[in-house]
Amino acid sequence: MTNDHRMTRRQFAAHTAVALGGLSVARSIHGAPPKESLLVLTATQALRAMRNGEITAESYASALLNQCGRGKHLNAFITQRPERVLEAARECDRKRSSGVKLGPLHGLPIPIKDSVNTKDLPTTAGTPALRNFQPSEDAPLVRALRTAGAIVLGKTNLHELSYGYTSNNHAFGAVHNPYDPTCIPGGSSGGTAAAIAYHMAPLGVAEDTEGSIRVPAALCGLAGFRPTTGRYPTHGCVPISPLFDQVGPHARSAADLLLFDTALKGGYPTTSTRSLEGMRVGVIRAYWFSGLDAETERVTNAALAKLQAAGVELVEGELPELQRLIGLTTDAVQNHDVKPALTRYLAEFHSGVSFEQLLAQASPDVRRMIEPAVTPGGHDFVTDAQYDEIVRVHLPALRTMYHDYFARSGVAAIVFPTTILPAPKLGEENMEVLVRGKRMALDIAMARNIAPGSTAGLPGLVLPAGLTSGGLPVALEFDGPAGADRNVLELGLAIEAALGKLPPPPNALNATAPS
């Protein structure tokens, strides 16, 4: 369905083709491509253009900064310093002119979730006690990105302390969904998702303990990737649990997720799309497909039909112990780990704030979630003895169950709708939502489907599946075996080609900014 203010897929494809094809024409006439054409470039395309001298890093950074200004109403960023971005871009141009070897991310501005340490910008974690916290060094991930040639575009807004799915931050303001600003963008990495969806940058850094990469990617119509736990470094990131925490990318294309992985892990990015003919993908309906919102179910079924038409074999199966094991592990691990993990982080990086001070200054909605977990006798408190049993017995059982399922079924990945429903309205974060006339806690609607993958430490790829009749994105997630990250990402290229990409959010590429 299309509205007057929204591009159809065909119009979007034509717009993109014209923009890319017009780079050389525009440059020959005016000396530089128009800013609108720069905004539709993927990271892979922009890097190629900068490396070939078709555009400068400064002109590209300027176009993205201008778009950040146009999208200010989304509140995607907590901190940005445009002149520093432009100076870093000029330095990239000087390096290219001098003939030095360029990194794989040369000149690419990347927004970073404001829970990842940066030496030149504050790291607030979206919470009042860290409003002025300035780490003395970059997190290893940021250092690796800069070494690869990337520029930090700014620090993106998030759900406070990464403790929620709405990114309705009561300290720094709510992040808004680019497809409908009255709706949530998902959380906790809502700012990065909003920035990428609104074409403020093509590639960004998010972070995922229990869905914080994948939920915003799904609700904002993006490609998102949570890798196997431990694949990318998380030291210097504001933690919840070292067993589950993992950084990863948001992008508007599967190729850019591969680019990110290649820049951090080495090797060569694959650009060729493999055939889906005969590809086995698992479907486990009893857990992931039950109780879906009607529009989510409609879009999901249509997307699965496209995959089958492209040659994918959907393999029906069961994981009868899944719900029990998730109930024993997911929340309990985070409830136990959050206090010691945050206490270590605050001390190691000399924040000048104790855990108790952090919690005392946190917004009431976040305090209400954390206090019962860190207070002995609280209803979410997990003792060390209980935790030991979880880590020693239940988590290994969950991971063994997945390992045996993949070995037995021969599927490349398990597919399911990422969330139970599309983005709900902003302000419903403390309320139940209606799904097919039944009330459901919002946290369950957002987290039920994504919790198993991150608890088991699996690589999870999110790709857009389509739009609801109201114009909101719906996504599919593909969880692969632990360690099969590159295979899952390469599979994503073919799946994306079969599903197609979404049109951009309304007004994102229009000449006039929203009022």
**Which residues carry out catalysis?**
113, 188, 212
DSSP 247-259: EEEEESSHHHHHH
DSSP 56-68: -HHHHHHHHHHHH
Helix (H) or strand (E) holding 417: strand 413-417
Cα angle 399-402-405, degrees, rounded to a multiple of 5: 150
Nearest Cα to 132, choosing from 79, 192, 82?
A: 79
Q: Cα dist. 42→109, 220, 241 in Å? A: 12, 16, 33
Nearest Cα to 115, choosing from 167, 184, 178, 71?
A: 167
Asked if 474 contacts 300 with a C-beta cutoff of 8 angstroms, the reply is yes
| Residue 357: both structure tokens together | 């001070």
For the purposes of burial, counting CB atoms within 10 Å of the CB of 5, is it exposed (0-12), middle (13-18) or buried (19 or more)?
A: exposed
Nearest Cα to 369, choosing from 504, 187, 192, 494?
A: 187
DSSP secondary structure letter of residue 209: S
The alpha carbon of residue 477 and the mean position of all alpha carbons in its chain are separated, in whole angstroms, by 12
For the purposes of burial, counting CB atoms within 10 Å of the CB of 512, is it exposed (0-12), middle (13-18) or buried (19 or more)?
A: exposed
Nearest Cα to 225, choosing from 504, 488, 501, 497?
A: 488
Count CA atoms within 13 Å of residue 138 on its CB side. Answer: 14
For the purposes of burial, counting CB atoms within 10 Å of the CB of 268, is it exposed (0-12), middle (13-18) or buried (19 or more)?
A: exposed
**What single letter denotes the amino acid at residue 121?**
L
Count CA atoms within 13 Å of residue 326 on its CB side. Answer: 20
Asked if 31 contacts 501 with a C-beta cutoff of 8 angstroms, the reply is no
